[in-house]
Structure 1
Amino acid sequence: MFDRRPSPERPGPGQESVWDYPRPPRAERMHRRAVLRHAGAVVAESDDLVRVLETSHPPTYYVPRTAFTDGMLVPVEPGGRSSAKPTGWGRHSTFCEWKGVASYVDVTVPGAEPLRAVGWWYPEPDRRYPELTDRVAVYVAPFDEITLDGEVVRPQPGGFYGGWVTDEVVGPFKGGPGSMGW
């Protein structure tokens, strides 16, 4: 059974409605500053981002793999185990009908519990999304803090999707209870 599409919130000045985003999704380069922090360490920071916009979802931001602190990205092996070796990047995978096969990564910060399967990337993104090559997206909730241009990012509801909620986007957002059929 599909849930009824909700009434979109009206965007204010400087805001976007996620209901105006396209399907299939659009990827676009952004020159904004993202900083990912966990356990007292900067895990990644970059102003070279790609955001993916899809109807009913807050933007998902992709950070260059090279922006991550050396040794903090660890590929997830089949069965959810991590490999300390950076070869074969992420053999645990899922499939997106638009972007292709995604591989997952853990984030490891010395002295802290690893953040398991907290990020994903497309080793060979669909030809429609070349901007995603060598970029990693992450779930917001497990990190101590992620900021975008200094604003603290909030996680997309639910836990399945990896959108970054900021004051510049309005929903309602897919992911929470009752949103399965949107």
Structure 2
Amino acid sequence: MRQTIQAYYIPPSAVKIPLTKTSRSTYCEWKGAATYFSAADEASGQTVANRIWAYERPTQRFEAIRGYLSFYAGAPWECYVDGEAVEAQPGDFYGGWVTSEIEGIVKGRNGNWDPVV
């Protein structure tokens, strides 16, 4: 069975670190405009910016993810699905998580210029 790359969206109440909106915004042709956030690690004093996003006003088809947060896999954190470490989808155009179940071409390194699968 062919598997697709997943982006996971979680409710903001599940995130236990303070987030601050950044000025970055991108546009998804299906979901609409994405808002990005930074997160400060008080223990280390480091800030991670633009690795977390949400759709605050998604298109009607994606209303179910309104305000939910998604994270780019990879640095600065480790991400797992069912105990398997995931790899980030190439590039920063998409935010998918790649697991061993994925078959075929993984789009992302060249954004919309990647081959259609």
State the TM-score bracket (shorter-chain normalisation): 0.7 to 0.9
Whether the aligned pair in 2 keeps the contact of 1:161 and 1:175 (CA below 8 Å) is yes
Whether the aligned pair in 1 keeps the contact of 2:17 and 2:39 (CA below 8 Å) is no
Structure with the bigger RCO (C-alpha within 8 Å, sep 6+) is: 1
Match of 2:76 among 107, 126, 143: 143
1:133 is the counterpart of 2:66? yes
Q: Offset at 1:132? A: 0.7
Match of 1:32 in 2: none
Match of 1:95 in 2: 27
TM-score of the aligned structures, taking structure 2 as reference length: 0.83
Q: Offset at 1:142? A: 2.0
Aligned length in residues: 114
Match of 1:68 among 3, 11, 15: 15
Residues 11-47 of structure 1 show CA distances to partners (whole Å, capped at 9, x for unaligned) of: 5xxxx343xxxxxxxxxxxxxxxxxxxxxxxxxxxxx
What is the correspondence of 1:84-123 to structure 2 with a 5 Å cutoff? 92-110=24-42, 111-123=44-56
Whether the aligned pair in 2 keeps the contact of 1:140 and 1:153 (CA below 8 Å) is yes
TM-score of the aligned structures, taking structure 1 as reference length: 0.56
Match of 1:37 in 2: none
Whether the aligned pair in 2 keeps the contact of 1:65 and 1:135 (CA below 8 Å) is yes
Q: State the structure with more CA Rg.
A: 1
How far, CA to CA, are the matches of 1:129 and 1:178 in structure 2?
A: 21
